[in-house]
Amino acid sequence: MKSPTTPPQLTGSSNDNARVKYDTQEGTSSERRLTQDRILDEIRRANDEEAFFIVDLGQVKRLCRMWEQNLPGILPHYAVKCNPNSRLIETLASVGINYDCASESEMNLVLSLGVDPRRIILANPIKPGSMLRYAKTHGVRRMTFDNADELHKVAGVYHDAELYLRITACDPRSATDLSSKFGCSKASVAPLLALARQLDLSVTGIAFHVGTGAKDANAYVQAIQDSKEVIEEASRLGFQIRSLDIGGGFVQERLPALAPEIRRALEHNDYFSSRGIQVLAEPGAFFAASIATLACNVIGRRTGENDQGAIDKLYLNDGVYGSFLNVLLEGPELKTYLLKSSSFERRSRQGKHAYSLWGPTLDSTDKLCDSYEFDDEVEIGDWLYFEDMGAYTSCTATSFNGFPPVAKTLYIDSDHEP
């Protein structure tokens, strides 16, 4: 059972119709306090139930510095699929981050913000002809492949593309294993490279992805070693490999533990540096997850039905068909905090209260968690805010059951705050 820290009280109101007292989390950093204050300001200003995001662009810049400290020299290409927020993309571009796109729409978004097409890699091994034509028209040359049919397709549409052979790699402890869908086997490497040579295509890079939410540094180490063998085979066939793409899977809290092993594998015998091979990566959640906080309103509650041990239920105005789909897909731990309104005539009962959390739709699978414990009773009209809601949230939201995705996003920059 999960329980947030007991919060102190923060009081105040901007109008007579919304005299409320809210609680905020104890012992917070200045960045979290700034986010909380912005949430409170918006609740008081709007005086409605609409859920909204707070995005901290200052956190984006701090994460860029963290990346450089841990993996210096490895050029990140932000995985746009993770969160295609234009302000996020612009902020990353301003500090020299490049982009991993997987569709025509993602390429169009990045290019519309003035990004040079040479800063984009089309890291989707399977591309429709229309996507290849778009990439060719707009000068996006770098792209991945992992099978013979894709090579024939590229040869017929975009012969001048710079191709990266994606090989299979897997962290069995990762949140999502991508190896079942993408990546060629060791046995397929030589035939694919030979076909690329026969078709007079240009293979300039090797790529892999160990899976999202990687936990095992050995998965990267093994894939890096496998890449060396592929580079040797490519060189034998006359290809000049200029890039190694080590993919994504990076999570903020685990990067300091993973990075030393990755660096050692890349630096071993100066294999890559001595050949002038640029190492790049495709971090998504690393740059996006912790930048966004989602504030949701408690729109309903069911209590007193505990005959069979069931706990009380809270219903929110966002759920798994909205910003919380990843709860079903990868099951991340929710970081949930209560903003407690004291405007009700009947005061809340203090003390531990556990609730299951549900979304607004009629689907019984629209559940955020089975049990979450708060230090106060939660009532209709209270607010919950969820941290680390920047990755695979707004981009996967639907309008199922007529409930639209969260439309409101507000921005702060804690990097510029005194």
Could you give the CA distance from residue 36 to residue 58 in angstroms, rounded to a whole number? 15
11 neighbors 357 (Cβ within 8 angstroms): no
* Residues with active-site annotation: 81, 209, 282
Could you give the CA distance from residue 33 to residue 362 in angstroms, rounded to a whole number? 35
Could you give the CA distance from residue 229 to residue 238 in angstroms, rounded to a whole number? 15
353: three-class secondary structure by DSSP: strand
Q: How many residues are present in the chain? A: 418
196, two tokens: 């690329």
Cα angle at 147 between 145 and 151, to 5 degrees?
A: 65
157, two tokens: 């549409």
Could you give the CA distance from residue 122 to residue 103 in angstroms, rounded to a whole number? 8
Contacts of 338 (CB under 8 A, 6+ apart): 4, 7, 23, 374, 375, 376, 378, 382, 383, 384
Which residues are registered as beta bridge partners of 356?
A: 313
Kindly list the distances between the CA atom of residue 275 and the CA atoms of 44, 228, 245, 272, 327, in Å, as whole numbers in the listed order: 59, 11, 15, 5, 43
95: three-class secondary structure by DSSP: coil
Contacts of 249 (CB under 8 A, 6+ apart): 171, 174, 209, 210, 211, 212, 213, 214
220 neighbors 214 (Cβ within 8 angstroms): yes
Strands 52-56 and 142-145: unpaired
37: three-class secondary structure by DSSP: helix
Residue 37 C-alpha from the chain's centroid:
25
